[in-house]
Structure 1
Amino acid sequence: MFVPLMYHLVDDRVEHPMSVPQDAFRRQLDWLGASGVTVLTVDRAVAALDNPGEVTEGVVLTFDDGYLNTVTTVREMLDERGLHAVMAVCGSYLDPATTPADIPHASREFASAQDVRDWLAAGHDVAGHSYTHPRLTTLDRRDLEAEVDLDLEAVEAATGRRPTTFCYPFGKADAAVREVVGQRYRHAFVTDGGSWPDPTHPLAMRRLEVRPAWDLGTFRAEVGRALEACRRQAPAATTRSS
């Protein structure tokens, strides 16, 4: 059982509802280390889901949209502490020539293909996030499949690695979206609805969005509540999957 923590930017230059201050992020990482909460790689976390007898508790750090800030600012803080994270990448953002002119983000500074390769070489992970970051629930089947497939192809071409985890843009997924994603990925994260990760809901794993306004006390409390919710859910999940 684990709690996926969702971040976007960790950037003091950007004031935005999805940009966590750098000092706040440092304090969060230091508290995780001091408190004994294990920061899991996404591979280790989801492997535990596939093996219900394995007890694995901790958090997974996820960073959406593939910002350059994740590879520079965030990676330095993680590497200093020997921690790992997963970055969800939009395939069209890997090259300025393919990045859409109108994007719903606070920054246009995205990681290049080489930046993502450097991120992977440092021991971190990547996930799919769609090609151009649309609301997947609004697309017809053809466009939905294109968004998922083009992203998967772009990330694999850039890195030589085929991701197995997907983060839904805007955190939303209905049955049609889960079906398409599930044909290509083993696990997927939502922020709207879903359940805390368990073997019975691999394509609707809930994440805890870390908000810029949280002080360290709020962060501790929110992570603690989420972990406790996972513990309460775990016996029921094990029963259903047995």
Structure 2
Amino acid sequence: MNEAVPILMYHAIAHRPAPASHGLSVAPGAFAEQMELLGERGFTPVTAAGLGRAWRLGEPLPPRPVLITFDDGYEGVHRHALPVLDKLGFASTLFVSTGWLRGAHEEGGSPDTMLDWGQVRELAAAGTEIGGHSHTHPQMDQLDDTRLRFEALHCREIIAGELGTAPMSFAYPYGYSNRRVRQAVRAAGFAQSLAVGNALARRRQGPYALERVTVRRSTGIDAFARLTEGRRVARDFARDRALTKGYAVVRRTRSAIRLLCT
């Protein structure tokens, strides 16, 4: 029950992503190659809800568990990722920012072409877990309490209304969270939440701070194989982790100043 589990964090899957999402995008061919590698090496994809439930109740996980997660709600997840996942029989989790999706509830500000609710429903029908990723994709640790509650709860209410089932998993926009954010997400009704961290997930991290590893456009197949096996993850992401720790200090200071001024 204390095994480390790789949680892969994807964003856009696209041939020609918008500049704002380019670095965190993955080409469709590269994504297909990565999924095939998981299958060849005997990994068993599970959802965020499945992992959370297993660790919460002490249930066994399948052999070589891995999570395939997508943030934001880019249209390419339906166009390019779904056929690959369906062919391989892989589970996945999609975290949507409800105010970015096309159609009802749209508030603008999305960085690229996003899913519409019909596509989200098709993904859900195909077995993809739909989780929350806030409503307008803010830096949640910088919000006051009222806005923080709104972003977590409104997102969950919209997904429940559109899909008929309330989401149980959440992912923090930009990966930013603190105790206050985690408490708000829990109070909104989510059972587990994912950060970034660029490390393998472990039960001891707790259900509201599970770490993920970032898959980028620059992630070659050898690097992808290493991160799924947990090899050299600390070294490959050393710069990211150092920047994250340094920026966390800055963010805590900014948040404290904002809260004092409100």
- Normalised by the size of structure 1, how large is the TM-score? 0.86
Q: More displaced, 131-140 or 84-93?
A: 84-93
Which of 177, 180, 202 aligns to 2:207? It is 202
Which of 120, 141, 144 aligns to 1:137? It is 141
Which of 186, 190, 201 aligns to 1:182? It is 186
**Structure 2 residue aligned with 1:237:** none
Given that 1:148 and 1:181 are in contact with CA atoms closer than 8 Å, whether structure 2 keeps it comes out as yes
- Identity in percent: 27
Equivalent pairs counted in the alignment come to 226
Which of 93, 96, 99 aligns to 1:92? It is 99
Aligned-residue CA RMSD (Å):
2.2
Which of 14, 20, 27 aligns to 2:26? It is 20
Q: Deviations over 1:170-204 (max 9, x none)?
A: 01101100010112211000014887231551000
Give the secondary structure class of the aligned counterpart of 1:18.
Answer: coil
Q: Deviations over 1:125-168 (max 9, x none)?
A: 10100000000011000000011111111111111010110000
- CA distance in 2: counterparts of 1:228 and 1:20, whole angstroms: 19
Gaps of 5+ in 2: 235-262
Structure 2 CA distance for partners of 1:194 and 1:18, relative to 1, 3 Å: closer
AA matched with 1:63? F
AA matched with 2:13? V
Which of 33, 40, 45 aligns to 1:39? It is 45
Q: Deviations over 1:79-126 (max 9, x none)?
A: 1111121110112223446433434x3x1x211221111111111110
Aligned: 1:165 with 2:173: no
AA matched with 1:3? P
- CA distance in 1: counterparts of 2:233 and 2:46, whole angstroms: 17
- Normalised by the size of structure 2, how large is the TM-score? 0.80
Gaps of 5+ in 1: 230-242
Given that 1:189 and 1:203 are in contact with CA atoms closer than 8 Å, whether structure 2 keeps it comes out as yes
- CA distance in 1: counterparts of 2:216 and 2:102, whole angstroms: 29
Structure 2 CA distance for partners of 1:97 and 1:33, relative to 1, 3 Å: closer
- CA distance in 1: counterparts of 2:13 and 2:205, whole angstroms: 32
Given that 1:88 and 1:127 are in contact with CA atoms closer than 8 Å, whether structure 2 keeps it comes out as yes
**Structure 1 residue aligned with 2:256:** none
Give the secondary structure class of the aligned counterpart of 2:66.
Answer: strand
